[in-house]
Structure 1
Amino acid sequence: MTRSSAMNPAIRKALDKLGLLRDIDLVLHLPLRYEDETRITPIAKTRDGQMAQIEATVVSNEVQLRPRRQLVVVVEDGTGQCQLRFLNFYPSQQKSMAIGAVLRIQGEVRGGFWGKQMVHPQLRKSDAPLPTSLTPVYPVGKGLPQAYLRRMIVTALHRTRLQETLPEPVWRAIGPPPVLAQPGLSDVQRWWPLQQALQFLHHPQPEVAIQTLEDQSHPAWQRLKVEELLAQQLSQWRVRQLREQFAAPALTPVRQPGQLALHEQLLGQIAFDLTKAQQRVVAEIAADIALERPMHRLLQGDVGSGKTVVAAMAACICMDSGWQCALMAPTEILAEQHFRKLSDWLSPLLAARGKQVAWLAGAQKKKAREHMLALVQSGEAALVVGTHAVIQENVEFDRLGLVIIDEQHRFGVEQRLSLRDRQRSKNASATSAAEATAAGTVSEAPTALADSVQTAQSEALEPHMLMMSATPIPRTLAMTYYADLSVSTIDELPPGRSPVVTRLIADSRRDELIERLQHQVSQGRQAYWVCPLIEESEALDLSNATATFEDLQAAMPQIQMGLLHSRMPAAQKQEVMDRFSAGELGILVATTVIEVGVDVPNASLMVVEHAERFGLSQLHQLRGRVGRGSAKSACILLYSTGDSGKLSDTAKDRLRAMAQTNDGFEIARRDLEIRGPGEFMGARQSGAALLRFADLEADQHLLEWARELAPLMLRDHPHLAEEHMQRWLGGRWDYLKA
Structure 2
Amino acid sequence: MSGRPELLFPLFAGLETLEGVGPKTAQLLSHLGIDSPRDVLFALPYAVVDRRRRDTILGADLPTTLTVEVTVGAHRPPRSRGGAYRIHVEDSQTKFQLVFFHARGEYLKKLLPQGSSRVVSGKMELFDGMAQMVHPDHVVAPVDADDLPEFEPVYHLTHGVTQKTAYKAAQSALKKVPELVEWIDPNQVSKQKWPDWASAIKVAHHPKGADDVSTFAPARERLAYDELFAHQLTLALARQREKKARGVVSVGNGSLQGVVLKSLPYRPTKAQQRAIREISDDMGSEARMNRLLQGDVGSGKTLVAFMALLVAVEAGGQGVMMAPTEILARQHLEGLRPLAEEAGVVLELLTGRDKGAERKAKLAALARGDIQVLVGTHAVFQSDVTFKDLRLAIIDEQHRFGVRQRMELTEKGQSADVLVMTATPIPRSLALAQYGDMDVSVLDEKPPGRKPVKTAIISAERINDVVDHLRRAIAEGRQCYWVCPLVDESEVLDLTAAEERFKRLRALLGDDDVGLVHGQMPPSEKDAAMAAFQAGHTKVLVATTVIEVGVNVPNATIMVIERAEIFGLAQLHQLRGRVGRGADASTCLLMYKPPLSDGGRKRLEVLRETEDGFRIAETDLQMRGAGDLIGTAQSGLPKFRIADLERQAGLMAVAQTDARNLLTVDPKLTSDRGEAARVLLWLMKQDQAIRLISVG
Q: Does TM-score exceed 0.5, indicating one fold? A: yes
Q: Secondary structure at the match of 2:684?
A: helix
Which residue number corresponds to residue 572 of structure 2?
619
Is residue 148 of structure 2 the alignment partner of residue 134 of structure 1? no
The whole-number CA distance in structure 2 between the counterparts of 1:357 and 1:141 is 57
Q: Which amino acid aligns with 2:686?
A: G
C-alpha deviation, 1:366, in angstroms: 4.4
Q: Is the 8 A contact 1:535 1:546 kept in 2?
A: no
Contact 1:580 1:588 in 2 (8 A): yes
1:106/1:121 contact within 8 Å kept:
no
Aligned to 1:326: 320
Q: Is the contact between residue 407 and residue 469 of structure 1 (CA under 8 Å) also seen in structure 2?
A: yes
Corresponding position: 1:675 with 2:661: no
Correspondent of 1:397 among 387, 409, 416 = 387
Match of 1:33 in 2: 47
Shift of 1:361: 2.4
In structure 2, the residue matched to 1:660 is: 609
State the alpha-carbon separation in 1 of the partners of residues 79 and 460 from structure 2. Answer: 46
Distance 2:506 2:25 in 1: 51
Q: What's the offset of the Cα at 1:588?
A: 0.9
Residue 676 of structure 2 corresponds to residue 720 of structure 1: yes
Cα 1:584–1:704 shift into 2, 3 Å:
closer
Question: In 1, are the aligned partners of 2:242 and 2:288 still within 8 Å (CA)?
Answer: yes
Amino acid paired to 1:28: F
Query: Offset at 1:37?
Result: 4.0
Kindly state the Cα deviation for residue 493 of structure 1 after the two structures are TM-superposed.
0.3
Inter-partner Cα distance in structure 1 for 2:482 and 2:121 = 53
Distance 1:654 1:100, change over 3 A: same
**CA offset at residue 138 of structure 1?**
2.9
1:11 is displaced (CA, Å) by 5.8
TM-score normalised according to structure 2 size: 0.82
SS in 1 for 2:374: strand
SS in 2 for 1:403: strand
Aligned residue for 2:240, secondary structure, equals helix
Amino acid paired to 1:163: L
- Whether contact under 8 Å (2:299, 2:447) holds in the other structure is yes
Matched residue SS, 1:159: coil
**1:617 Cα deviation (Å)?**
0.8
Cα separation, partners in 2 of 1:357 and 1:74, compared to 1, 3 Å: farther
Query: Could you say if the C-alpha distance between residues 276 and 71 of structure 1 is closer, same or farther in structure 2, counting changes exceeding 3 Å?
Result: farther
Matched-pair contact (CA < 8 Å) for 1:687–1:735? no
Task: Give the Å deviation of 1:159.
Answer: 2.5
**Change over 3 Å in CA distance of 1:122–1:383 after alignment to 2:** farther
Q: Secondary structure at the match of 1:666?
A: helix
- CA distance in 2 between counterparts of 1:9 and 1:347 reads 69
Worse overlay, 728-737 or 318-327: 728-737
Contact 2:495 2:518 in 1 (8 A): no
Letter in 1 for 2:40: L
In the alignment, structure 1 residue 286 sits paired with structure 2 residue 239: no
User: Please, which of 310, 313, 316 is the counterpart of residue 307 of structure 2?
Assistant: 313
* C-alpha displacement of 1:285: 0.5
Pairing 1:234-245 to 2, within 5 Å after superposition: 234-245=233-244
Counterpart amino acid of 1:342? L
Aligned AA (1:197): A
Alignment-mate amino acid for residue 340 of structure 2: L
Kept in 1, the 8 Å contact 2:485–2:494? The answer is no
1:111-150 correspondence to structure 2 within 5 Å: 123-127=137-141, 129=145, 130-140=147-157, 148-150=165-167
CA contact (8 A) 1:325 1:384 kept: yes
CA–CA distance in structure 2, aligned partners of residues 646 and 106 of structure 1: 44
- Map 1:222-261 onto structure 2 (within 5 A): 222-253=221-252, 261=255
SS in 2 for 1:195: helix
Alignment of 1:92-103 (within 5 A): none
Identity %: 35
Question: Helix, strand or coil for the counterpart of 1:544?
Answer: helix
1:444 maps to which residue? Answer: none
Q: Which amino acid in 2 is paired with 1:580?
A: F
Q: What is the aligned counterpart of 1:472 among 410, 425, 441?
A: 425
State whether residues 121 and 139 of structure 2, in contact with CA within 8 Å, keep that contact through their aligned partners in structure 1: no
Deviations 1:489-518 (A, max 9, x none): 111101121211222223333344334333
1:294 deviates by 1.0
SS at match of 1:598: coil
Q: Aligned pairs, how many?
A: 659
Per-residue deviation, 1:250: 0.7
- Aligned-partner SS, 1:658: helix
Q: Which amino acid aligns with 2:681?
A: M
Shift of 1:326: 1.8
State the alpha-carbon separation in 2 of the partners of residues 504 and 73 from structure 1.
58
Provide the secondary structure at the position in 2 that maps to 1:384.
strand
Q: Deviations over 1:614-666 (max 9, x none)?
A: 1111111111111112222222222235xxx553x543442232222111121
Could you tell me how far 1:213 is from its partner in structure 2?
1.6
1:301–1:469 Cα contact (<8 Å) kept: yes
Q: Which runs of 5+ in 1 are unaligned?
A: 181-190, 425-460
Q: Cα deviation per residue 1:17-36 (whole Å; 9 max; x = unaligned)?
A: 63x44433332221222233
- The farther-off stretch of 73-82 and 476-485 is 73-82
- Once residues 684 and 538 of structure 1 are traced to their aligned partners in structure 2, the CA distance between those partners, rounded to angstroms, is 17
Determine the structure 1 residue equivalent to 2:600: 651
Task: Check the 8 A contact 1:61/1:98 in 2, yes or no.
Answer: no
For the pair 1:179 / 2:192, whether they are aligned, the reply is yes
Q: Say if 2:299 and 2:443, in contact at 8 Å, map to a contact too.
A: yes
Number of the residue aligned with 1:274: 268
SS in structure 1 opposite 2:287?
coil
Greater alpha carbon shift after TM alignment, 278-287 vs 686-695: 686-695
Paired letter, 2:200: A
Instruction: Report the Cα offset of residue 45 of structure 1.
Output: 4.3
Q: Provide closer, same or farther for how the CA distance between residues 537 and 736 of structure 1 changes in structure 2, counting only shifts above 3 A.
A: farther
Structure 1: distance between partners of 2:604 and 2:626: 20
Contact 2:259 2:342 in 1 (8 A): no
1:178 partner letter: K
**Cα distance in 2 for residues equivalent to 1:201 and 1:583:** 63
SS in 2 for 1:721: helix
* 2:543 aligned residue: 590
CA distance in 1, matches of 2:63, 2:304: 58
The residue aligned with 2:30 is: 15
Coordinate RMSD, CA, aligned: 3.9
Contact residue 472 and residue 665 of structure 1 kept, 8 A: yes
Structure 1 length as normaliser, TM-score?
0.78
Distance 1:736 1:111 in 2: 61
What SS class does the counterpart of residue 268 from structure 2 fall into? coil
> What aligned pairs does 1:215-226 form with structure 2 within 5 A after superposition?
215-226=214-225
Q: Which residue of 2 aligns with 1:199?
A: 202
Matches within 5 A, 1:564-575: 564-575=517-528
Spell out, residue by residue over 1:560-581, the C-alpha distance to the aligned partner (whole angstroms, 9 max, x if none).
1111122322221111111111
